[in-house]
Structure 1
Amino acid sequence: MSEPVSALKNAVYSDGIAQISEMGAVGMITLRGDLAAKPLQKAAIAAAGVNMPEQRQCLTEGTGGMAWMSTDELLIMCAYADATAMLADLQEKLAGSHTLSVNVSDARAVFEVRGPHAREVMAKLAPVDLSPAAFTPGMFRRTRMAQVPAAFWMPEEDVFHVVCFRSVAQYVFDLLSIAAQPGSKVDVNWSRAE
């Protein structure tokens, strides 16, 4: 079996105000259905290893996690090597229920934006209020970054994880790198911005 290859082969940009890193191959399963249904909740929690996320929330633990994508959709994250078996387990547990689960690992790219100016880098690119009072660790947004759809969350302070389609991975990496280039600090006074 061949080794998985991520879209940009773990590209890193570290010369600017934040470090931009492609996170390599990440296991991701889209699960659609009635999020209030107990069988779906039980199967999703068992797969992700975290509780059900609330609206606009992403919960993570190690390589596992789960993000609320919409009123009927979750994104379950895991180690890349575990995604196929996890999908089979989900489909077995949810057989007979009105759900859809798909392994989207190879269709996505994941980036990390890290550093004390990570919030500024992200604020340049997405129409989201990223002030510390409005966007805190664990929060999740689906939005656009310049010309492409993307989603992001903060697993911890000063760190953002960004998910986009694999087909636009280079574009998103370049966007993030330009937004983080040396001398591009905005010096936002977040307390005044709130």
Structure 2
Amino acid sequence: MSKAVSALEGVSHKGFVGVAEAGLRGMITLRGDLASAKMKKAVKAATGTAVPAPRRIEIEGDKATAWMSPDELLILVQYEDARATVEALEKVLAGDHHLVADVSDARAVFTIRGSKAQEVLAKLCPVDFEMLAEGEIRRTRAAQVAAAFWKSGADEFTLVSFRSVAGYVMGLLDVASRPGGELFPAP
């Protein structure tokens, strides 16, 4: 059996903020009726969170549930727990129309850390960061590729993209965070 590795094996760069590929993360696409009692029970059992409101992410320890569309959630767990989580979700949702898919190996996760982390994403994503609320997940694009991100700490954002474009995304983050490229440099 081969050993799982993240898309870029933890590469990082330090500019006016730090950017890094965050490593392996368990990610599960869950589709179905988000208002159903079974769905709510399944999500709570898998993550300890409620089904989030539109454009929200609910975090409980090292697990999270992110709203992706009116009938889709992204479940985040430890990488090694993804398979068991899929099985548990399938068991609870049996008999209801749903789809559960382990997408862990199809995605890459990045962190952007530092007091100007927002500036890096503002260069790449068409988002009004002044309106971005705490606990909000935003599905958008980073330059030319699909991405989703949320504020994961006081001075930190987490970004998810497709694994197939991980090198491109890391290159974007690296260039956007290079010293001298700050949007609001100190006077």
With structure 2 as the length reference, what TM-score do the two structures score?
Answer: 0.96
- 1:164 paired to 2:147: no
CA–CA separation in structure 2 for the residues paired with 1:12 and 1:167 = 18
Residue 147 (structure 1) aligns with:
144
Aligned to 2:41, the other structure's residue is in SS state helix
Secondary structure of the residue that 2:5 maps to in structure 1? coil
Amino acid at match of 2:112: V
Gaps of 5+ in 1: 189-194
2:53 equivalent in structure 1: 54
Gaps of 5+ in 2: none
| Residue of structure 2 equivalent to 1:137 | 134
- Runs of 4+ aligned structure 1 residues displaced above 2 Å come to none
RMSD (Å) for aligned C-alpha atoms:
1.1
Q: Which moved more, 1:57-66 or 1:116-125?
A: 57-66
Q: How much has 1:137 moved relative to structure 2? A: 2.6
- Spell out, residue by residue over 1:109-141, the C-alpha distance to the aligned partner (whole angstroms, 9 max, x if none): 00000100001111110001012xx11331111
Candidates 158, 182, 185, aligned match of 1:185: 182
Amino acid in structure 1 at the alignment position of 2:155: D
What is residue 78 of structure 1 aligned with on the other side?
A: 77
**TM value normalised by structure 1:** 0.92
1:2 Cα offset (Å): 4.2
Task: List aligned pairs for 1:14-33, cutoff 5 A.
Answer: 14=14, 16-33=15-32
Counterpart residue type for residue 143 of structure 1: T
Identity of aligned residues (%): 50
Aligned to 1:3: 3
List per-residue Cα deviations over 1:31-82 (Å, max 9, x = no partner): 0001011101110121112222111111222320010000000000000000
